[in-house]
Amino acid sequence: MTSLLYTEVEEELRSAVRDLLADTCAPASVLAGLGSPPDPGVWKALAGDIGVAGLLIPDEYGGAGASAREAAVVCEEIGRSASPVPFLTSAVLATRALLAAGTPAAGALLTRLASGETTAALAVSFAASPYSAVGGDVRRDEDGTLSGEVKAVAGADAASVLLVPSGSTLYAVRAADATTRPVPSLDQTRPLSTVTLASAPAQAVGEGIGDALLYGAGLLASEQLGVAEWCLSTTLAYVKERHQFARPVGSFQSIKHRLADLWLDVVRARAAARNAADALASAEDPGLAVAVAQSWCADVAVHAAEEALQLHGGIGMTWEHPLHLFLKRAKSTQIALGTPGDHRTRTAQLADIPAPA
């Protein structure tokens, strides 16, 4: 039976992830670490000790065999802390692509991912939409090597294996055999890279990338929910404490009404994100639930961050306040894995709201 609430197991996982991230990865320390490579110890603890790297990997490959519902809770917490960890890129996108491949080679890679010893990235643009084809950037030469360039790849900086779609085949390439060049990114907590392959040795692991992008888009909604929740709760705390005109600014109706509306958007984002995670975890076709959640949550996260900035006044505009981490992450994820417009177009098709001729 479908449920939009959180189970006890999900709440336990949440508090384990939240405690770890609060200790090792609070917004202030993320802020202080910007520009230098992220501390690999955080991901190691999250991946290995709590076991999130293998959350979506079945038992037979050494994973936890959990579903999108549990992974979504991890995404929420990562969004709430703007943590620079490769959960979405390795444990969701790369993992789902390998699961779709279903070959022994893919299975061997999944076993390494599940233990946390190996981190992978799917070499497609983070802006790729689940509704368009991928694999056009890289060609396979007669000698079996791959050549080409893929821009805006998320998580490649942290990956030791790259999963590269070329034509209709998915290949595994050792990161050491490719050139991964980080580029300045709007969201510095999820740096993007240009991946260049020049006659790189590659092993075919399967056909295509399966539902990886749609699955990722569905879980990204939960990350956006986490971002929006941080923005709302941080702003609430600030307007209760900040005084002007001898009153807390949060006692003015012009502020209260904006926050009430934002709260209502976040309440609905939670329902939509839960519904998408639940649909991805069940046998039903998750297409509509994902498109609805991604179009709604992407916009709510951006709106929440923008409202947070405005309601913080001048301090929200400073580098020293962590708010900009959330604004940049929100705006980047709005573009990632399909824009709200892409997801609305898909919604129109699936809900039978035909466009004009």
Partner 1 sequence: MNEEDIKERVREFLAANDPAADRLGFLRARFDAGLAWVHFPPGLGGLGAPRELQQVVERELESTPQLRPGVQAIGLGMAAPTILAFGTEEQQRRFLRPLWTGEEIWCQLFSEPGAGSDLATLATRAVRDGEEWVVDGQKVWTSGAHHARWAILVARTDPDQPKHRGMTYFVCDMQAPGVDVRPLRQITGEAEFNEVFLTGVRLGDDLRLGGVGDGWRVAQTTLMNERVAIGGAPARRGGGMIGLVTRTWRDRPELRDHDLHQRLVRLWIEAEVTRLAGARLREQLAAGQPGPEGSGMKLSFATLNQALTGLDLEMHREEGLGYDDWSFRRSESVDFAGRDIGYRYLRAKGNSIEGGTSEILRNIIAERVLGLPSEPRVDKDVPWKDLPR
- Which positions lie near partner 1, rule CB under 8 A? 3-5, 236, 239-240, 247-248, 250-253, 255-257, 259-261, 263-264, 267-272, 274-275, 292-293, 295-296, 344-345, 347-348, 351-357
For partner 1, give the closer residue by CB, 28 or 351. Answer: 351
> Which string of b and e fits 180-216 if b means at least 16 CB within 10 Å?
beeeebebbbbbbbebbbeebebbbbbebbbbbbbbb
Task: Quote the CA–CA distance of 351 and 285 in Å, as a whole number.
Answer: 13
DSSP per-residue letters across 1-20: ---SS--HHHHHHHHHHHHH
Minimum distance from CB of 1 to partner 1 (Å)?
A: 10
Minimum distance from CB of 323 to partner 1 (Å)?
A: 18
- CA-only gyration radius of the chain, Å: 20
Planar angle of CA 293, 296, 298, nearest 5 degrees: 95
* 3-state secondary structure string across 198-226: EEECCEEEEECCCCHHHHHHHHHHHHHHH
Minimum distance from CB of 351 to partner 1 (Å)?
A: 6
Helix and strand counts by DSSP (H, E) for the chain: 11, 10
CA atoms within 13 A on the CB side of 173: 33
Taking the CA atoms of 185, 214, 326 and 334 in sequence, report the sign of the dihedral they define: positive
Minimum distance from CB of 207 to partner 1 (Å)?
A: 33
Judge contact between 146 and 135, C-beta under 8 A. Answer: no
Task: Quote the CA–CA distance of 257 and 133 in Å, as a whole number.
Answer: 43
Minimum distance from CB of 244 to partner 1 (Å)?
A: 13
* 3-class secondary-structure state, position 132: coil
* 3-class secondary-structure state, position 139: strand
Minimum distance from CB of 307 to partner 1 (Å)?
A: 13
Minimum distance from CB of 227 to partner 1 (Å)?
A: 17
Minimum distance from CB of 141 to partner 1 (Å)?
A: 44
For partner 1, give the closer residue by CB, 186 or 348. Answer: 348
* 3-class secondary-structure state, position 84: coil
Token pair belonging to 339: 């824009």
- Sequence-distant (≥ 6) Cβ neighbours of residue 6 within 8 angstroms: 14, 73, 274
Minimum distance from CB of 11 to partner 1 (Å)?
A: 12
Which residue type occupies 84?
Answer: P
